[in-house]
Amino acid sequence: MSANIAVLVSGGGTNLQALIDAQESGILHSGKITLVVSNAAGAYALERAKKANIPGVTLLKKQLGGQAAFEEALQKTLEEYHIDVIVLAGFMTILSGDFTAKWPRRILNIHPALIPSFCGEGFYGLKVHQAALDYGVKVTGATVHYVNHIPDGGEIIAQKAVEVLPGDTPEILQRRVMEQAEWILLPQATEAVCKEICQ
């Protein structure tokens, strides 16, 4: 058996690409990416999905009439595609407790810092790296965790540390964290979760 994976995205989709590459190389083999959902129109991640022949769906909160309607449409789409595992890969919306309760230990998120540092509401994308630089930490990294009702508060699955170097800008640090941690950790953790549920 193979788990059906939905990857939720909002932007460039380099983490989605890492998952697609891991699927092609066999690192990810207990699950298959069968759906990509974007909450932003024109996200480049959708192009990546198209190139890999993965169906892409765009769901816009504003157009649907708010968070509850968005989550209802999302749930319906996930059911239509018989999804088993949801991976948040650069997905910039916080899902409600009502939604996450429907998917216990079935939603993973990648966060670009070592939780519990620089996480929670308001910490996303470059803001996370800016906060790490402002604080002056010498080590940061990435965390993959299960998603529950607390933003970035679910059980940690995997973490990897990355050095902060003199002269780092948020952009430079973001790239290093992606290369040395996110793109490795997310496919590995996704495989581990898919393997567990397929047993």
d(CA 194, CA 32): 9
CB of 79 to ligand GAR, least distance (A): 25
One residue of 52, 61, 117, 125 binding ligand GAR per CB under 6 A? 125
One residue of 74, 128, 181, 189 binding ligand GAR per CB under 6 A? 128
Decide: 108 and 85 in contact? Cβ < 8 Å: yes
d(CA 85, CA 105): 9
Q: Which two tokens stand for residue 162?
A: 């990355």
One residue of 112, 141, 154, 187 binding ligand GAR per CB under 6 A? 112
Catalytic residues: 111
Residue with the closest Cβ to ligand GAR? Answer: 90
Q: Is the dihedral of CA 107, 111, 117, 120 positive or negative?
A: negative
Q: Where are the beta strands (DSSP E) in 10-121?
A: 31-38, 56-58, 85-88, 107-111
Site string for ligand GAR, 26-65 (x = CB under 6 A): -------------------x--------------------
Q: Does 90 bind ligand GAR (CB under 6 A)?
A: yes
CB of 133 to ligand GAR, least distance (A): 15
